[in-house]
């Protein structure tokens, strides 16, 4: 199965996504999704040009992803909301901060430790 995300907002290094990157896909719980549900590989990535008529805008990218695995355990807002000590260095806290502090659809960069933590869900 493949996914295509067009002109998605990027934050926390998300605009550096490139072909071949491993990604973890979370379905927006604000839109009826379940949180973490898939892992995949980026098959294409392209930056969206900034609009000259806007002074401030979030960088955006379009990506295509080939799914490589489905999550075997649940990981969403309910599981992450208790991790609020932004300085504790835990993967759960990084995810809570990046995904749920500003709960909008977005592509974010994560640390290697957090990627290893997410791998344990597959």
Q: Contact, 107 vs 5, CB < 8 A?
A: yes
Confidence at residue 89, expressed as pLDDT on a 0 to 100 scale: 95
Confidence at residue 9, expressed as pLDDT on a 0 to 100 scale: 93
Confidence at residue 58, expressed as pLDDT on a 0 to 100 scale: 86
Going from the first residue of the chain to its last (122 residues), give the mean pLDDT of each consecutive group of 10, the final group possibly shorter.
94 95 93 93 95 88 98 95 94 94 89 98 98
Locate 48 and state its tokens: 């969206």
Confidence at residue 57, expressed as pLDDT on a 0 to 100 scale: 84
Confidence at residue 55, expressed as pLDDT on a 0 to 100 scale: 86
Q: Contact, 79 vs 30, CB < 8 A?
A: no
Going by their DSSP bridges, the two strands 107-108 and 60-70 should be labelled as unpaired
Identify each DSSP E strand in 51-96 by its residue range: 60-70
């Amino acid at each position: 199965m493949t996914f295509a995300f067009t002109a998605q907002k990027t934050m926390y290094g998300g605009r550096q996504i490139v072909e071949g990157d491993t990604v973890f896909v979370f379905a927006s719980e604000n839109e009826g999704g379940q949180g973490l549900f898939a892992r995949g590989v980026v098959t294409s990535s392209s930056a969206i040009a900034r609009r000259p008529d806007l002074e401030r805008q979030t960088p955006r990218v379009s990506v295509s992803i080939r799914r490589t695995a489905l999550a075997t355990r649940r990981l969403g807002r309910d599981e992450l909301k208790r991790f609020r000590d932004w300085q504790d260095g835990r993967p759960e806290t990084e995810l809570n901060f990046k995904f749920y502090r500003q709960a909008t659809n977005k592509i974010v960069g994560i640390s290697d430790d957090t990627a290893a933590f997410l791998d344990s869900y597959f």
